[in-house]
Structure 1
């Protein structure tokens, strides 16, 4: 695992968490009951991305496991957000997909 790779993944995890929080707040403001899954996934994803960044920062021996789970959660959040046309949902879906890819790559290197 290279230091630039870890820094990139941490940055994308933090960016994803920020995008998820922005999306959740915007969706809550819409007061649309159909956005419940989006809001819940946004909040879960934001929390897990921050957790993942902290595991990476401290070189936890569980980085591969946490990165794999983070990628799965980010993908689920991206899939949900991509269903909605609003800019904040589309931005969140994009950030989630970038984070998922970085986590998969880092997790694979951590296992090697």
Structure 2
């Protein structure tokens, strides 16, 4: 069985939280708010962010070294998503979740 160290466990937790927050925010807040919140590029970015977060967590949980690749991409997408959610406005929970995930994924990718 592979060992999950505390830093990796924190990254898994951050990824799963970001996955949950992005998906939930997109499906409830954004769809209900409309306007800038449902611009195709913004909405696609939120879906991509949720999916890469889920995938990165999964790769760490199954114990493959390929998690370094998914985490690198996850950090990039989360950073982009945080900036875009900030631009759209009224999405602080998503901004915070994305930033936390990006930070821990950058450490895992190193």
State whether TM-score is above 0.5: yes
Unaligned runs of 5+ residues in structure 2 are: none
TM-aligned CA deviation for residue 30 of structure 1: 1.4
Checking the alignment, whether the CA contact within 8 Å between 1:68 and 1:107 is kept in structure 2 is yes
1:1-112 matched pairs, under 5 angstroms = 3-25=5-27, 26-32=29-35, 34-35=36-37, 36=39, 37-86=41-90, 89-108=91-110
TM-aligned CA deviation for residue 38 of structure 1: 2.6
Distance of 1:2 and 1:60 partners within structure 2: 11
The total of aligned residue pairs comes to: 105
Q: Secondary structure at the match of 1:83?
A: helix
Moved over 3 A (4+): none
Checking the alignment, whether the CA contact within 8 Å between 1:74 and 1:96 is kept in structure 2 is yes
Provide the aligned C-alpha RMSD in A.
1.4
Q: Which whole-Å deviations, capped at 9, do the CAs of 1:13-65 have from their partners, x for residues lacking one? A: 00001110122121111121x22233221111111100000000111121111
Distance of 2:22 and 2:81 partners within structure 1: 9
Unaligned runs of 5+ residues in structure 1 are: none
